[in-house]
Structure 1
Amino acid sequence: MNRLLALFILLSIHNGCNNSDSKKNSALWLNPILLGTKSTVDYSPTDCSAVSSPNDTYYGYQWHLKNTGQAMYSGTHPAGTSGADINVLPVWQAGLSGKTTLVSIVDDGVLLDHEDLQPNAKSESVNFLHGTNGLAANDTGGELANHGTAVTGIISARGGNGIGVTGVAPCSQFIAYNYLSKSTDANMATSLTGNKSVFVSNNSWGSEDGSGHYQKAPNSFYTNIEAGITNNREGKGTVYVFAGGNGAGTLGEATGTEVDNSNYDGYASHYGTMAVSGVLNTGVRAAYSEKGANLWLSAYTGRDGVINTAITTTDNIGFTTEWGYNPGTGSTNYPDTSSFNYPNRKYTSTFNGTSAAAPMVSGVVSLLLEKYPNLTWRDVKVILAKSAKKTDSSDANWVSTSPGYDYSTVYGFGTVDAEQALQTASSWTSLGGSSSLKTWSTEGTVSLNIDQSGSYSTQNIVVSSSGITKIEFIRLILTSSHPNPGEIRMKLQSPTSPVQRTIEIQEPHLCYSGGKKQTPTISCSAMTNQIFGVSGFLDFPANGTWNLLLKDENSGTPTGNLTYYKIIFYGS
């Protein structure tokens, strides 16, 4: 037996290996012995070429890349609907692979030494736990790096190497920041803006899911995003992709009742980000995926990966079975069994959530910017919106008006489509970067009683001489005296010319005393300068009279007033 392994086992027994803290301490104790005491590790991406037909072991189960309705690895995982995928094969066949692009993974960490990730890993990763977790200053691996390892494989796993899986952008280079393992303002700034060469930043995280309350992001977050879209990539801006959230009502609430809305998450509702919702392999919404007027796109995800199909990707590995999602003890959401998972524990078939959907969009952005590196962050957002695929077309949340692009508060502009994105970009005229982005705003202090009789109370907002003929995003900031804002339904309605469109901003919902629907239910947090992002008026003109519609759908409790509004338009 290897002497180091024998010593580790002895220490584990001594420290009580049934205790998770003891396991963690033993593992961290071993890290510096195995990895040495170097302050940095040399990661240098190896040469990579596009592969039109991947030979990776588990590629056939990566239905999000090519869905033919194929059988899955486990018989408990239902097959999907043919065509419910990101349509990436034609892009690979055209010779694109994400080569020359740099992706940043902001997460809990990434196992950079993974056999399918190391070929694309660069040396500039940042380990915020350096000095406490026994790993090098640029090594983000270790026991905590489960989620980020799975996310990274979806984007950047090396394709065509005969092992494991392939990423959407299989030659993209990446760096990792384990910000979620040590979340400070300084670490956020480093993660979001520290490397100004980053093409796309993937952020499969946000506010805590399942409470129903408004959760604002710190001001430092907005400062960093605005700096990144303005200064990075020589003024073209980093593209920021965020998970839309997993806190929708799925655990026994009345039919049609939601809990979280993606707009309640301040990280996912900024004009400089793209929020991504989740769609199953049948092309319909994942029940946990949050609705929201801020949503930009949707991409594919799964359910539990036990009796339902999930996403196949890379997995964290370690010296105990606690690392990673295969066999499952890396998360209490998964049972400790490998009967449904792969025999090679460097890979998992159980990854899910909008955390899995967001990196698919990031991968497509990598492919797009490899071909057209001069596109700005604004160009990328609008190209992806205009090229998105309408899914679940019979869903009642779709809003279709002409002119205007079809939009849904469940799916955004639709599911990301790699081939169509490249085709749209081929004849694209740039919108410019942040320096040419126009903004216009107006605000008012009001006292509008929120009706309880079933009718909407209407706050008119007159916009004139804005100079914006094509809206790219709208930000609403609202304050209400209502004691329980969760009882309010709100909509934003455009002027009647060229055509009137109405987008729902908030629907009545439950709020809980803690995250993950911790009972009992309580009144929702106050609506005080609450920010709502609105995506669905893309290319509409700003000028005219807008209507903010509000009604209280619980007549048995006190109502309140809308006391303040501010509306900000972004566009050209």
Structure 2
Amino acid sequence: MQKNLFKGIHIYNYCHIYSGVRMSYIRRFLVFIVLLSYLSCTPKKKDPLEDIFLFLFLNNLLNSQVAPCSTPGLPDDPLFSQQWHLKNTGSTSGSISGEDANITFASNAGCKGNGVSVVTVDDGMDTSHEDLSPNYDRTLDINFGGSFFNSIDCSTNGTAGCHGTSVSGIMAARDTNGIGLSGIAPRAKIGARNILANSTDANSGTAMSSFSNGVFVSNNSWGAPDNTGRFAPSGNIWKSGIDSAFRLGRNNLGTIFFWAAGNGGNFLTSANTGGIVSAGSAPRDNSNQDGQANYRSAFAVAAIGNDGKKASYSEEGANLLVTAHSQGTSGVAISTTDISGAGGYNVNGGGTNFSSNNYTNTFNGTSAAAPLAAGVGALILDRNRNLTARDVRVLLARHSRKNDPSDPDWTTNGAGLNFNHKYGFGAVDASLAIPAAQSWTNIGPEIVTGNLAGSTTNSTITNNTPAGAVNTRVVSGSGIGKIEFVEVNMTVNTGAADDSADLFIELTSPSGTKARLLVPRICTLNNALSFCNDITNWTFGATIFMDEPANGTWSLRVADVCNKATSVGSNPLVCTSNTLYGYSRSDANFTYTRAATINNTNHTLSSWSINIRGRAN
């Protein structure tokens, strides 16, 4: 009996070494063989320990979470050489060799997303595409209706691009099939949920939570309107849906939600505003103002180019988790799948684009960065199925790469982790994340402090006073030795004759780490210049404090850092770096001229509270 049993163990290890067979099937087959061998043995006397040993072995065989067998090696698809975001040789304009998602280790280990299911929540997907159909799983779909290019399978006629088709290819285009290109997780199963066809709050909640047991990773390259400078709240049903799936999806391990940080990070100058910004440059959007990318159950992803530096459009924020590659300042975009035939982004199949209309090399934005990070998430779960969604967040924070290392915004938090408001904890790197996943020990149960009211003793925010109003909250007895996410809810009244454009908000942890929650900005409404709306019951999210202890004194500084100088015919909002009290950078210098009359009034901090999420150790 023992001889037969160890023969089964030998076959099991053989599958770890050699590839091509799905482990879920080989496990069942091996269990059958072992049981058959056992039953065929009929000794007159049997050691009862054999039954126990057999049970333990078979249980381990059926439930082992070691990665499935898969064909090792980098993809050999015809267009793979154009996918610099997967393997950057330095051949594209402005690129740095090795500035990519670093998939070599994963590919050589045969870690390609086998057995992992991902969904593209977007405008649909060309489900019959030659490079997507092999991985397509219709059971993951939700069809919210809509017309033409918002249909679940995306029409192949016309000229509009099917955004979700390109997003899907970055994640899970099939590799090594002699056509096209490869996704970063080319053996993952993929489905589509066309929320952009009818993005009500109820539908958004459904897109997050329905059939979540079968969804390992959800990519969301959609969200708040860009380039407004305004706060964009998320709906309560959406919050409930994403929270439920984050906790209970994937059989209580949690669905992982990657979210595009936003494309409103371009700085406005005199040249691109017709003189409205008369000096320097000013930002519009911050990812902390996006009610979805800023939310606790979403992993916000920023964008960098092939040189590893911030893409101009990518939004900054204390909420960012990681960054991933997309089109940057060099103008070199991402190669991925496009609608089959004449539709989509590659209409003519000529010029600098691919000759095949089924693919495009022009996809960009944080819309392209998010699925690249999501694909790394799929590879992580390929390697270790036992990880919770919370585990993956902490793992990525600890095991991403410090890109653009000379950027002055890099700081080391109280737990020794590097963070940058442009990049989060750095660029996703499969060769760092996957070995970490294999040896990962799951983190402990979540502890939540609940909303702890902060002091408003210093409630008046005096105009043009960089020191601002500083208020504190002492946290004690929380039981949180390692923070995972911090939420700060607040209401700031600006008064009828003023707006929130000149406010700077900063939260400092007991460890001394500073999170910039809001910076001065310019706002538009319906494509016209406007006041920036008040901060009313808004919750800012922050990952920057990852792994720090929660107990101690937290400080919130809200400051009016700009001077509104009234003059004839104009009313400039003047911000200079020396008025930003520690936020010193050249792109903070700007003069914004508006025709409206605006008084220099004080603001009032009406209320604020802090909610800390983490674990004991």
TM-score class, shorter-chain normalisation, is: 0.7 to 0.9
Asked if residue 522 in structure 1 is aligned to residue 522 in structure 2, the reply is no
| Matches for 1:420-439 after TM superposition, within 5 Å | 420-432=432-444, 436-439=446-449
Q: How many Å apart are 1:120 and its aligned residue? A: 0.2
| Matches for 1:268-417 after TM superposition, within 5 Å | 268-303=293-328, 308-318=331-341, 321=342, 323-327=343-347, 338-401=350-413, 403-417=415-429
- Which amino acid counterpart does residue 170 of structure 1 have in structure 2? P
Secondary structure, aligned partner of 1:479: strand
Q: How many Å apart are 1:401 and its aligned residue? A: 4.4
**Of the candidates 258, 262, 272, which is equivalent to residue 241 of structure 1?**
258
Q: What is the rounded CA distance, in whole Å, between the counterparts of 2:413 and 2:204 in structure 1? A: 40
Q: What is the rounded CA distance, in whole Å, between the counterparts of 1:540 and 1:440 in structure 2? A: 18
| Matches for 1:436-451 after TM superposition, within 5 Å | 436-444=446-454, 446=456, 448-451=459-462
Q: What is the rounded CA distance, in whole Å, between the counterparts of 2:537 and 2:337 in structure 1? A: 41
Asked if residue 454 in structure 1 is aligned to residue 497 in structure 2, the reply is no
Asked if residue 215 in structure 1 is aligned to residue 215 in structure 2, the reply is no
Asked if residue 555 in structure 1 is aligned to residue 542 in structure 2, the reply is no
Secondary structure, aligned partner of 1:188: helix
**Of the candidates 180, 190, 199, which is equivalent to residue 196 of structure 2?**
180
Q: How many residues align?
A: 497
Contact 1:246–1:290 (Cα < 8 Å) also in 2: yes
Q: How many Å apart are 1:400 and its aligned residue? A: 2.0
Q: What is the rounded CA distance, in whole Å, between the counterparts of 1:395 and 1:134 in structure 2? A: 40
Contact 1:111–1:145 (Cα < 8 Å) also in 2: no
Q: How many Å apart are 1:455 and its aligned residue? A: 1.8
Q: How many Å apart are 1:436 and its aligned residue? A: 3.5
Specify whether residues 131 and 243 from structure 1 end up closer, same or farther in structure 2 by C-alpha distance, changes over 3 A only. closer
Note the alpha carbon deviations across 1:358-402, whole angstroms, 9 max, x for none: 001110111110110010000001101100100111112211245
Q: How many Å apart are 1:415 and its aligned residue? A: 0.4
Q: Percent identity?
A: 38
Contact 1:236–1:374 (Cα < 8 Å) also in 2: yes
Contact 1:112–1:141 (Cα < 8 Å) also in 2: no
Q: How many Å apart are 1:130 and its aligned residue? A: 4.7
Specify whether residues 129 and 241 from structure 1 end up closer, same or farther in structure 2 by C-alpha distance, changes over 3 A only. closer
Contact 1:109–1:141 (Cα < 8 Å) also in 2: no
Deviates more, 1:375-384 or 1:192-201: 192-201
Specify whether residues 186 and 403 from structure 1 end up closer, same or farther in structure 2 by C-alpha distance, changes over 3 A only. closer
> For residue 257 of structure 1, what is the aligned residue in structure 2?
282
Asked if residue 540 in structure 1 is aligned to residue 548 in structure 2, the reply is yes
Q: How many Å apart are 1:535 and its aligned residue? A: 0.8
Secondary structure, aligned partner of 1:231: helix
Contact 2:395–2:436 (Cα < 8 Å) also in 1: yes
Contact 2:123–2:149 (Cα < 8 Å) also in 1: no
> For residue 61 of structure 1, what is the aligned residue in structure 2?
82
| Matches for 1:476-487 after TM superposition, within 5 Å | 476-482=488-494, 483-487=498-502
Q: What is the rounded CA distance, in whole Å, between the counterparts of 2:543 and 2:125 in structure 1? A: 32
Q: What is the rounded CA distance, in whole Å, between the counterparts of 1:237 and 1:295 in structure 2? A: 20
Unmatched 5+ residue regions in structure 1? 1-46, 72-77, 329-336
Q: What is the rounded CA distance, in whole Å, between the counterparts of 1:90 and 1:396 in structure 2? A: 31
Q: What is the rounded CA distance, in whole Å, between the counterparts of 2:156 and 2:323 in structure 1? A: 31
Q: How many Å apart are 1:454 and its aligned residue? A: 2.7
Secondary structure, aligned partner of 1:567: strand
Unmatched 5+ residue regions in structure 2? 1-67, 270-276, 565-599
Note the alpha carbon deviations across 1:165-221, whole angstroms, 9 max, x for none: 100000000110111122123322332111121000000111000000001001111
Contact 1:172–1:366 (Cα < 8 Å) also in 2: yes
**Of the candidates 505, 514, 537, which is equivalent to residue 502 of structure 1?**
514
Q: What is the rounded CA distance, in whole Å, between the counterparts of 1:381 and 1:408 in structure 2? A: 16
Q: How many Å apart are 1:462 and its aligned residue? A: 1.2
> For residue 225 of structure 1, what is the aligned residue in structure 2?
242
Contact 1:51–1:160 (Cα < 8 Å) also in 2: no
Q: What is the rounded CA distance, in whole Å, between the counterparts of 2:605 and 2:169 in structure 1? A: 46
Q: How many Å apart are 1:256 and its aligned residue? A: 5.2
Q: How many Å apart are 1:501 and its aligned residue? A: 1.5
Q: How many Å apart are 1:568 and its aligned residue? A: 0.4
Contact 1:140–1:176 (Cα < 8 Å) also in 2: no
Q: What is the rounded CA distance, in whole Å, between the counterparts of 1:459 and 1:256 in structure 2? A: 30
Contact 2:145–2:197 (Cα < 8 Å) also in 1: no
Specify whether residues 258 and 471 from structure 1 end up closer, same or farther in structure 2 by C-alpha distance, changes over 3 A only. same
Specify whether residues 325 and 213 from structure 1 end up closer, same or farther in structure 2 by C-alpha distance, changes over 3 A only. same
- Which amino acid counterpart does residue 208 of structure 1 have in structure 2? P
Q: What is the rounded CA distance, in whole Å, between the counterparts of 1:272 and 1:570 in structure 2? A: 11
Q: What is the rounded CA distance, in whole Å, between the counterparts of 2:372 and 2:432 in structure 1? A: 15
Q: What is the rounded CA distance, in whole Å, between the counterparts of 2:506 and 2:146 in structure 1? A: 50
Larger Rg: 2
TM-score normalised over the length of structure 2: 0.77
Contact 1:51–1:92 (Cα < 8 Å) also in 2: yes
Contact 2:383–2:438 (Cα < 8 Å) also in 1: no
Aligned-residue Cα RMSD (Å) equals 2.2
Q: What is the rounded CA distance, in whole Å, between the counterparts of 2:509 and 2:374 in structure 1? A: 31
Specify whether residues 370 and 296 from structure 1 end up closer, same or farther in structure 2 by C-alpha distance, changes over 3 A only. same
Deviates more, 1:147-156 or 1:253-262: 253-262
